[in-house]
Chain A
């Protein structure tokens, strides 16, 4: 009833949409255009023309073995993000919400990895993993074991996935906890009166009430995994070792900035957006966050 008149929509939506269009879509359309040209310089110099090469870059995408690795890694990362980032965060958030004391303490502490910039966290983990004199190998030396090349091709992906997952748990934790706290206490009281155990309260009160927030987290986890860049780039730049840890984000950066193949980088950027959109629409379709409207 209240929301029958559509006029206010303009006021609520338009300012934000204008900003998004001006600073994201318009430049991104430029980026899509770039992917059809052969770009020699990063910036178009006055008086220079670029040659049109059509879909050549997209053809290259289909055969690029690096892209295949990056794609596989990004998809793997999506799965890991949903299961571990959101999963661990949900567990921690529920535990913390049970507490009578110390909630503030944990909320502050769990937030730390987010406060420290990804570059700094990357640096820390780099020093953990170093073959000569890294923390893990210092530790192995103390217990009398041979040093391990932690970033060897076989285990590099896992070693890089760990800090990525770890550093974002706090992020989902805060979001989920905020959502948990928005659930009216009365519902739990009612459930308690009906004789529900803690576990049952989680299943029948918490999770259904959290549907919207939960869906948000999954979408953010999926898209975030797709955009992963800083941490892998600092710990093992350019997909080191041997291109095994390339993600779509790092591959795009390498192509654009390190190699200077701007047009190919643009094509990868386009793929990232399209793929991410498809996945998040699928998530929306599966979880139907608007079901209770």
Chain B
């Protein structure tokens, strides 16, 4: 009995000792840093540690490019250490970032949303404007096109973020499946309906989508299709009839069994799997989906056709610039970090950096040189976005997050008829009006 008690006491001591060591070592390293930054007149450059956060994390196709730029950067400036915490952006992550900004735990440089998605963080007013930076570093963002900088301005019209690339949303099609069943690509609404009917008969899922997880692209595309660019980009105060028509189409498509049987329960990744493994014929997705597709020969991108009676014109697509690099005031006010932060943003947003991110798809924020050796799929994406006459930002850049999320959460109910588009849109617009 006593022996066991001793054992327990020993275990306790070890754990406590470990926790003490863990605490003190952390404190130790912290004080080391401050000493280094404070008293090393011999070195011209004081060692700087920059904390950075970006959305080039996880499965983002640009994650490796971003990491490559970071390691090159640390090689070029050996006195700068980058402590990076990048993640794929989801709601939880956005909450964590907002919490960081609220309590003063924000990073030095962050690549983040520029539109209404960033409203939480922008409200904290912790970013330096590009004008302020240029007052001291006239070369800041010199490669970036003025139009791109303007497009990356925050909702209040002030330019703070330096963008890298834009994106588009388009309809990915497995061309080989269309060929196999003698179908035309869905360039017109009739073709689309024909394709849905034929694929359904042949046990192929016509359209891979997860209505419960990511119906966003369809919501955007159908509203645009029905309302046209003018109706689409307004921030309505009363429920627009066109929007209802667009949303109602989701129910029509569902009733035609255009979606997977388990569209209510699968997640977007799995829907992507269905498309990539050719179990599904079409998927509406963003330009970031392109690089994950294994079959680069037989996949093409087309626009979602205009629905009968729809006001959209050909060449109106959804896309734009949604994010950019910011420098926080915290870094700006620290003389050592100021310079390092500017250098870091430049490394990511100059011509060389942007060309890496751009990769031929979407739009580059600098005048990048065309890329050689593009795959047929990449060419298809390039042409798709080049043919576009107007690129429109999605709805979530114009209305509040809570309102947009309510819209998205109600899509399944729309598709089953449990809720009418009118009721849902009224709820959404009410929430938006509050803020």
Q: Show the binding face of A for B, using Cβ within 8 Å.
A: 38, 40-48, 129-132, 149, 151, 153, 156, 235-238, 240-243, 254, 257-261
Contacts and interface: CB of A to CB of B under 8 A. Distances in A.
A185 to B, nearest CB: 19
Contacts of B262: 130-132, 149, 151, 241
B254 to A, nearest CB: 11
A235 B212 CA distance: 12
A254 B267 contact: no
A247 to B, nearest CB: 16
A43 B279 CA distance: 43
A259 B405 contact: yes
A238 B120 contact: no
Contacts of B120: 41-43, 45
Contacts of B91: 257-258, 260
Given A131-B262, A258-B409, A237 B95 contact: no
A257 B95 CA distance: 8
A193 B434 CA distance: 76
Interface stretch (B63-71, B96-104, B335-343): B96-104
A45 B123 contact: yes
Nearest to A41: B120
Interface string B369-382: 00000000000000
A242 B213 contact: no
B412 A242 contact: yes
Contacts of B400: 40
A3 B120 CA distance: 55
A237 B213 contact: yes
Interface of B: 91-92, 95, 98-99, 101-103, 119-120, 123-125, 212-213, 260-262, 264-267, 270, 274, 279, 400-402, 405-406, 409, 412-413, 416, 418, 431, 434-435
A130 B279 CA distance: 14
Contact of A241 (B101, B212, B270, B401): B212
B123 A259 contact: no
A257 B90 CA distance: 10
B95 A47 contact: no
A261 B267 CA distance: 22
B274 A132 contact: yes
Nearest to B103: A43
Given A151-B265, A259-B409, 11 more contacts: A46-B102, A46-B124, A129-B265, A130-B262, A131-B262, A131-B266, A156-B265, A242-B412, A258-B405, A259-B405, A260-B91
A41 B123 contact: yes
Contacts of B279: 132
Nearest to A258: B91
Contacts of B412: 240-243
26 contacts: A40-B402, A41-B123, A43-B99, A43-B120, A45-B98, A45-B124, A47-B123, A47-B125, A48-B123, A129-B265, A131-B260, A131-B262, A131-B266, A132-B262, A132-B274, A149-B261, A237-B267, A238-B212, A240-B212, A240-B264, A241-B412, A243-B412, A258-B409, A259-B405, A259-B406, A261-B402
A7 to B, nearest CB: 26
Nearest to A159: B265
Contacts of B260: 131-132
Given A132-B274, A238-B409, A258-B91, A44 B264 contact: no
B212 A42 contact: no
A151 B418 CA distance: 18
B180 to A, nearest CB: 19
Contacts of B416: 242
Contacts of A38: 434
A149 B263 CA distance: 10
Contacts of B274: 132
A88 B418 CA distance: 38
B409 A41 contact: no
A151 B266 CA distance: 10
A108 B431 CA distance: 52
A112 B260 CA distance: 34
B409 A254 contact: yes
A235 B101 CA distance: 32
B398 to A, nearest CB: 16
Nearest to B412: A242
Given A43-B98, A242-B416, A257 B119 contact: no
Closest 6 A-B residue pairs measured CB to CB?
A: A241-B264, A43-B102, A131-B262, A45-B123, A259-B405, A151-B265
B92 A257 contact: yes
A45 B418 CA distance: 37
Contacts of A131: 260-262, 266
Nearest to A134: B262
Nearest to B409: A259
Contacts of B264: 151, 153, 240-242
A48 B412 CA distance: 34
Nearest to A65: B418
